[in-house]
């Protein structure tokens, strides 16, 4: 559907997409720009998550919802038994090890190569002002879009009766936005900073999986159009079961600190049911964590 992921003029037109009075992305260094960046940084430092409410204004939500809903037929939709690390179960591990805890993952993903260039989420993903703003919020010099033709920007669909169980992200930070809320259920829950690059913290992860870590779990109300910046590499998180007759749709914008990043082939097959020629080389990992 898409011939290229190079940045286009569409990427610069953020004023047509977001609430520029509240988030003036084209005015870096302005008072409102600095205020939004400072608030995001405080939230990330405090809890590993920042929410920018009303990033896409109400007048654009119908188009945002319709565009993402139109992609449902392209989703790779397969229920799968997984663990929190999305790794193959190792029966040699102790029974109480979190990697032995199996859950049913029921969410579906629309790959990046099925998202048209003119869609709102694609224009945001490619936008240099958007990337510059995110980099400032994250305390980076800059962020880089994925070189992966399937990942980077995806649409995540959780249909009624399904959920996206506890997991960690493969990249350090993710940016997301709900484009369609379910009738009920579908809450986002997370445990901030439960692991670090130097410690998997298996006991605490196992406790949460057993339902014994309630005091650690944060529930986050999210609305369509809110932008979420999340340190998902270190914070286990889930989308609870969706109820009612309407699916939960969200766009996930993933960037990295270095250019040229390609997804792990095995994880790519899990999410999209396929790989491409660029996935044949060795995966480059940012750390020594399990996944």
Question: Per the domain annotation, does 1 fall within a domain?
Answer: no
Taking the C-alpha atoms of residue 215 and residue 272, their distance in angstroms, rounded to an integer, is: 34
Q: Counting beta carbons within 10 angstroms of the beta carbon of residue 141, is it exposed (0 to 12), middle (13 to 18) or buried (19 or more)?
A: exposed
Task: Determine the Cα angle at 263 with ends 147 and 268, to 5°.
Answer: 125
Could you list the residue range(s) of the whole structural domain that residue 268 is in?
A: 32-280
Q: In terms of pLDDT, which residue wins out, 282 or 209?
A: 209
CA atoms of 106 and 172, how far apart (whole Å): 23
**Position 4 in a domain:** no
| pLDDT confidence of residue 93 | 92
**Number of structural domains, the chain?**
1
pTM above 0.75, yes or no: yes
In a domain, 24, yes or no: no
Give 154-196 pLDDT, tens digit per residue.
999 999 999 999 999 988 899 999 999 999 999 999 999 999 9
Predicted confidence (pLDDT) per residue in 95-154, tens digit:
999 999 999 999 999 999 999 999 999 999 999 999 999 999 999 999 999 999 999 999
26 within domain boundaries: no
Note whether residue 288 is domain-resident: no
**Domain-located, residue 225:** yes
Q: Is 15 inside any structural domain?
A: no
- pLDDT tens digits, 69-91: 999 999 999 999 999 998 887 88
Percent of the chain's residues with pLDDT above 90: 80
pLDDT at 245 over 80: yes
- CATH code of residue 243: 2.60.120.620
């Amino acid at each position: 559907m898409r011939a290229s992921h190079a940045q286009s003029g569409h990427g610069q037109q953020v004023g047509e997409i977001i609430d520029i009075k509240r988030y003036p992305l084209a005015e870096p260094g302005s008072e409102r720009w600095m205020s939004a960046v400072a608030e995001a940084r405080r939230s990330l430092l405090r809890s590993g998550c920042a929410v920018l409410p009303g990033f896409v204004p109400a007048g654009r939500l119908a188009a945002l919802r319709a565009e993402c809903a139109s992609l449902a037929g392209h989703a790779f939709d397969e229920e799968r038994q997984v663990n929190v690390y999305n790794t193959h179960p190792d029966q040699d591990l102790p029974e109480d090890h979190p990697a032995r805890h199996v859950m049913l993952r029921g969410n579906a993903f629309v790959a990046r190569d099925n998202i048209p260039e003119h869609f709102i989420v694609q224009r945001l993903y490619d936008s240099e002002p958007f990337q510059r703003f995110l980099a400032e919020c994250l305390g980076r010099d800059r962020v880089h879009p994925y070189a992966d033709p399937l990942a980077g920007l995806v649409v995540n669909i959780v249909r009624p009766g399904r959920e996206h169980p506890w997991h960690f992200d493969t990249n350090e930070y993710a940016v997301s936005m709900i484009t369609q809320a379910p009738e009920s259920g579908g809450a986002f829950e997370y445990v901030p900073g439960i692991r670090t690059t130097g410690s998997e913290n298996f006991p605490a992860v196992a406790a949460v999986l057993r339902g014994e870590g309630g005091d650690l779990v944060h529930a986050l109300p999210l609305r369509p159009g809110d932008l979420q910046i999340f340190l998902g590499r270190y914070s286990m998180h889930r989308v609870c079961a969706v109820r009612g007759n309407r699916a939960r749709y969200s766009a996930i914008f993933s960037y990295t600190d270095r250019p040229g990043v390609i997804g792990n082939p095995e994880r790519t097959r899990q999410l999209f049911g396929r790989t491409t020629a660029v996935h044949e080389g060795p995966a480059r990992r940012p750390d020594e964590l399990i996944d």
